[in-house]
Structure 1
Amino acid sequence: MTQTFKVGDKVVNDVFGVGEIVYGPYDGVGSDASYFFKSESGIHHAVTGRYCKPAAKFKVGDMVKSRFGRVYTVEAGPFFAPGEWYALKADASGNVVHSLADEVNLVTPEPAKDEAVVNGVSYDLTAKYRDRDGDYWRFERRSDGAVRGDCTRTPNGDINIDDWSDTLEAAVHKYGPLTRV
């Protein structure tokens, strides 16, 4: 079956690989629609729709965010009926949902940061801290960009940081000062 594309569509051509439709469709050989295709290398080619398929917007493992702000991990896909869609896993709950590609956007990962600043004080996110009550804290930057942490009574106790853990700012406000150990 011949695919129909429009200018701007990202496609994968069987011969030239990944690229973009830059013109077409126009009448081609027989009943196949033809297109001008620009490959990733910048070279233009005349191609037929029969040898092109839609390029995936995301790949398995990508982090995506819904228009409502929820962050998911792409678990499977793409699937192309009735449109491009993916199976997405919610980080906190583990539930898997489906979503059309146009309903989510790729989360641009922040550069690796090993520190955060609260009230002018720099906190190393690779270190442990002790609060005024003697509890031990560890913090990490979550996928939504927030720095969250959890505490334990013992220096080597288990710490489980999730999306509902205290933010660094809240820990400093409620339990500070925090002292690096």
Structure 2
Amino acid sequence: MTEQTFKVGEIVTHEEMGPVVIRSEPFAWIYGRESRYVVEVSEGSRAGKHVAVISSRLSAATFERGATVLVDGERCTVKAGPFVDKFAPARPWYVVENADGSHETSAASFLTLASVDEPITVGDRVRVLEAKHAEEEHGKLGRVIRTDGTWTPIGGGLHPYRVELDDGGTIEVRRVERVADEPASTFTHDGVTYDLTASYRDRDNDMWSFTGSTNVHGRPLVSMFADRSGGRSLGSVVEAYGPLTKVTD
């Protein structure tokens, strides 16, 4: 793979330190074959300091005009930029257009490219990624029943989606991801999908099987006993004895 190169004075992004300014030509390092650069850090406790970094941890920090980006989780369009303030040369900024047609400025470090996936529509099967005041539902699966919601909790951003969860209940959601239809014989807990027809071993090597029943909240029950009596909720077992590993032999 061809090693990327940068020019002195170029503003780039370091994968951990954010925007930095290239302050040297590339140079060889005695302990590795990959070139390094001296860069000036622009943010955090190391702002203004010069450090040496390997080239593979740097990438171009520019966004094309017309690109769809995310600002605080909201989709926007880049309309102009990048612009550089002479007093903060390592912090380029852009003008972006919001969904309502208004415009604002944003530092490059706060922009990320948005996915080009088809928009979520009513009826889509999704996984909940972010829902203010319903964080315990993150990772769960459900079906979208509304996409034009207006609820905007303080500090939470617009929650346009209403999702009917597989295990019961309806919540307002800020971010989701589309998933393929999964068979009814699965259940997702804390982002992990479990096969309700399989057995699982806990960290102590004890075996657990699903009983086929649920608790009053719709969560599946698991048991250590052959007759599957004395069921406990999957969540409580994962918390006390997890992680659970599917038995495949």
Query: When the two structures are superposed, what TM-score results if normalisation uses the length of structure 1?
Result: 0.36
Structure of greater relative contact order (alpha carbons < 8 Å, 6+ residues apart): 1
TM-score where L is the length of structure 2? 0.28
